[in-house]
Amino acid sequence: MRITKINIYYGGRGLLEDPTIYVINKMTEVLKDLRVEVERYNIFEDKNAIATLPSTLKGVDGVILATTVEWFGIGGYMQEFLDMCWLYADKHELSSVYMLPVVMATTYGERDAELSLVKAWETLGGIPTTGLVAYVENLDEFEKNESYLRIIERKTETLYRTIHQKSESLPTSNLAVKTNILKTRTIELTPAESEQLSKFVSDETYVKQQKEDIEELSAMFKKMLRPEIVEQELQEEEDEPEESPHQLDREKRDDSPNDKYIKAFTDNYHPASDFSASYAIIITDENRILHIEALPEKVKAFYAAAEEADVTLRTTTRSLDDILQGKTTFQRGFMAGEISVKGKIKTLRMMDELFTFS
């Protein structure tokens, strides 16, 4: 017997307080109990390779498009994913794929967002099913409500039955528009060619090389046509002032062991055996990112431009200073809304065990 396969595409930002994450986690548990093969894609983690995500739709029986309305609409990640499906997905294969929209809203607009997902999937040629939508004001109360949990479970079971029964739906005008009116302004490609092109689009090295080649050709032709322009630009580059000693000193101080934050995290580290994690603390009012690498044997603290880490925190110097002075903790700062977090809650809680300030 063929195993049912369902993909979940999460279009939120990955915040710990996102109710959509709770819902799709529960749906995943139900589907696995039903022996469904479940694959989840967090689009915010694959944002540099969104163009290749349509290739993951091959061979699936159903999909769950899950997003969060934080202020307006389905969000940029989900919209870009649907755009890539329109450009690169195999529309014939999508015609038999069922889609269940999941939209949790922390503000107004969950019904509008659900309708957007349904219309998009119909236009792509797929089969939408009745969605799971809700307005969530308090996440703790939402998670503790047993009635809500049963609704989520029943909706997941309904999707499973719909796929197995191959339920049909009546034709819609969205499909007619796709067939008769809308024409994509792209070269007609086979599914294999579309997949190959999408890989080139998402390959940063390939794209960077193309840009460099274009710039090199542009400079060559400009020199051939207007050599005096090139001479002027070279002269302007020579006349540019060097970085001031103050700027260089500031950059050196950023990674200095005597930096207030680096020293605080280094001096107050209490390692835990068999635990390691990386934290990126974005200090918004200083426009700096403090990286903490907690290892079983030592801790590393330094400033860097990248945000990649197991847990990313966004806060201000005032909130961070309160933590260093022992007035509050990372967990309480998150609960109070003074810190926004992206990553696992368990890893965040470990910060208060690894670093004790007084």
Which of the listed residues 179, 214, 239 is the one where a domain comes to its end?
Answer: 239
Predicted confidence at residue 4, as pLDDT, reads 92
Based on the structure, what is the number of domains in the chain? 3
Q: Quote the CA–CA distance of 16 and 25 in Å, as a whole number.
A: 13
Any idea what the CATH number is for the domain that residue 151 is in?
A: 3.40.50.360
Predicted confidence at residue 214, as pLDDT, reads 65
Which of the listed residues 197, 227, 262 is the one where a domain comes to its end?
Answer: 197
Q: Which domain holds residue 316?
A: 254-354
Predicted confidence at residue 243, as pLDDT, reads 44
Residue 97 shares a structural domain with residue 189: yes
Residue 193 shares a structural domain with residue 57: yes
Residue 12 shares a structural domain with residue 33: yes
> Is residue 247 domain-resident?
no
Residue 155 shares a structural domain with residue 59: yes
Q: Quote the CA–CA distance of 310 and 14 in Å, as a whole number.
A: 12
Residue 80 shares a structural domain with residue 192: yes
Residue 193 shares a structural domain with residue 225: no
Residue 298 shares a structural domain with residue 177: no
> Mapped to the 3 state alphabet, what secondary structure does the chain carry?
CCCCEEEEEECCCCECCCHHHHHHHHHHHHHHHCCCEEEEEECCCCHHHHHHHHHHHCCCCEEEEEEEECCCCCCHHHHHHHHHHHHHCCHHHHCCCEEEEEEEECCCCHHHHHHHHHHHHHHHCCEECCCEEEECCCHHHHHHCHHHHHHHHHHHHHHHHHHHHCCCCCCCHHHHHHHHCCCCCCCCCCHHHHHHHHHHHHCHHHHHHHHHHHHHHHHHHHHHHCHHHHHHHHHHHHHCCCCCHHHHHHHHHHCCCCCHHHHHHHHCECCCCCCCEEEEEEECCCCEEEEEEECCCCEEEEECCCCCCCEEEEECHHHHHHHHCCCCCHHHHHHCCCCEEECCHHHHHHHHHHECCC
Residue 151 shares a structural domain with residue 22: yes
> Is residue 86 domain-resident?
yes
- pTM attached to this predicted model: 0.55
Any idea what the CATH number is for the domain that residue 290 is in?
A: 3.30.1050.10
> What b/e string do you get for 129-143 counting C-beta neighbours within 10 Å, with b at 16 or more?
bebbbbbbeebeebe
Residue 146 shares a structural domain with residue 55: yes
> Is residue 244 domain-resident?
no
Residue 192 shares a structural domain with residue 218: no
Residue 180 shares a structural domain with residue 303: no
> Is residue 246 domain-resident?
no
Residue 182 shares a structural domain with residue 149: yes
> Is residue 249 domain-resident?
no
> Is residue 266 domain-resident?
yes
> Is residue 87 domain-resident?
yes
pLDDT tens-place values along the chain, 358 residues long: 578 999 999 999 999 899 999 999 999 999 999 999 999 999 998 888 888 999 999 999 999 999 999 988 999 999 999 999 999 998 889 999 999 999 999 999 999 999 999 999 999 999 999 999 999 999 999 999 999 999 999 999 999 999 988 877 777 666 555 555 444 444 455 555 555 555 555 555 655 666 666 666 566 555 555 555 445 555 555 555 554 443 333 344 355 667 889 999 999 999 988 899 999 999 999 989 999 999 999 999 999 988 889 999 999 999 999 999 999 999 888 877 788 888 877 888 899 999 988 7
